[in-house]
Amino acid sequence: KDIGGLAAPKRELEGLIFALKSPDLHFRWGTKPPRGVLLYGPAGTGKTLLSKALARESGAVFFHLKLNNVVSKWRGESGELFQEVFSVVKANGRSVLFLDELDALSIERLFLPEEARAAGGRLVNTMAENLDDLDDTGQNMVVASTNRIDAIDPALVRPGRIDRFIEVGLPEAEEKAEIFRIHQAKAEARAGRKLFLELQYDAIITRMVKLSGADIAEIIQRALEEKVRLEGSGQE
Ligand code: ADP
């Protein structure tokens, strides 16, 4: 309920909650629980929020791996780090491993020098092997995210690996209003008092194109900071 809009992705995630909580249901019907999904869409649309909600709602431990940071800092050593992360994930029972910015593993983005491309290829292979090595108990689920689906290495999204794609798009007008309300209500809950007047969303939202949930959260944050500034300087 903290996530506005996104009815279709939420519905898909509900199925995944089932799979994580009761993988035996899949086995009873002779099918395997999904292991990996890819959430794709513009930045700030709620992909991280959805992944965390999946973990929370299914009582799973949440691991967040920011691949961009890993790859830029660890470079050639990233493979060993992946290995270690996967073994920690597997040792933790029911868990969600969030692979943030999976496109960071695409060969053309990895390392520029020629000799390093081989290292990049090895990195993709290590990730793919680790995905293959997840056991079939349905305890561990990998959720990857990207805002560049075109740059995902095909080896990572083969059947049996990260093989379900869920689009997480920018909110429509009604959804924007819902996200505004969610963030206003959160601020009011933190402050323990009413802070906002009833807003005529229609009047402002139609003027806001390409607005993400993160942008809306930022608008609320800035508005409140302005209030803090005014009160702090004795103007309110
Ligand atoms: P992404 O992972 O897609 O880049 P995030 O899930 O990290 O985006 O969203 C960043 C922030 O933007 C969230 O912490 C939240 O405050 C806000 N946000 C984004 N989408 C939504 C949404 N659908 N409903 C409510 N808040 C949202």
Output the pLDDT for position 74.
72
Give the whole-angstrom CA distance, residue 139 versus residue 137: 5
- Backbone angles phi and psi of 112, in degrees to 5: -80, -45
Whole-prediction pTM value?
0.92
Output the pLDDT for position 207.
81
Q: Residues 12-37: what's their mean pLDDT? A: 90
Confidence of residue 110 (pLDDT cuts 50, 70, 90): low
Of the residues 6, 49, 220, which should be mutated to test ligand 1's pocket, given the most ligand atoms within 8 Å of the CB? 49
Residue 146 is classified by DSSP as: E
- pLDDT(234) > 90: no
pLDDT digits (tens, 9 = 90+) for 62-100: 999 999 888 877 777 788 889 999 999 999 889 999 999
Output the pLDDT for position 111.
54
Of the residues 37, 45, 64, which should be mutated to test ligand 1's pocket, given the most ligand atoms within 8 Å of the CB? 45
Hey, what are 180's tokens?
Answer: 């505004």
Output the pLDDT for position 98.
98
Containing 228, the helix (H) or strand (E) segment is helix 213-232
Sign of CA dihedral 33, 35, 41, 45: positive
pLDDT digits (tens, 9 = 90+) for 122-178: 888 889 999 998 877 888 999 999 999 998 999 999 998 999 999 999 999 899 999
Rounded distance from Cα 77 to ligand 1 centre (Å): 31
Q: Which atom of ligand 1 is nearest to the CA of 49?
A: 6
In order, the DSSP letters of 179-217 are HHHHHHHHHHHHHTS---PPP-HHHHHTT--S--HHHHH
Ligand 1 pocket by Cβ (under 6 Å):
3-6, 43-49, 145, 179, 182, 213-214, 217
